[in-house]
Amino acid sequence: MLFDWSKPGNAPAPSPLPQPDVRAPATGTPDEHALPAALSYPPGHPWHYHPLGDNAAPMPVDAIPAAKGLEDTFDRELPKRGPKRIIKARELLDAERRGLEADRQRYQALVERGADALSRYDREIAHGGDLEMARASALALTFNHVAWRLGRIAVLERELTRSNARGR
């Protein structure tokens, strides 16, 4: 039983709830019914890619910007100072670069193959057979992975540059 929370009382709502008239073409470009740019979803959100949302085409993997403000993500991973910090930063940088390459390949596979690049679990179970939502969710998640890793790589590279400058 569903309830329409916008109306007072506890009468059940019609089932299924009426859906707003939102349409978007399959071309990846919003039509006249799409949200204005100021109200659109960011690329890290599934509705950015979903036909009932912004219906935006995925940006090229090389155009994904690095996440900002990730300096604090290393507080527990890096020793406070000295050679151990430099060694650990290099190890983390190598691991982040490997992870970035895997995430870029995954993102590109989703761009090229769509829902066909997803596991059976993602297609049929996690999203209940809604292939458009499965694709949109995977694109958003992988976009966020790439941005996160790019941001962490930038922080580690700055850290190593500072360490090298102090060591001279």
Q: What 3-state DSSP class applies to 12?
A: strand
| pLDDT single digits (tens) 39-73 | 789 999 999 999 999 999 999 999 999 999 999 98
- CA pair distance 66, 156, nearest whole angstrom: 13
Q: What angle do CA 71, 75, 78 make, to 5 degrees?
A: 100
| pLDDT single digits (tens) 79-137 | 988 899 999 999 999 999 999 999 999 999 999 999 999 999 998 998 889 999 999 99
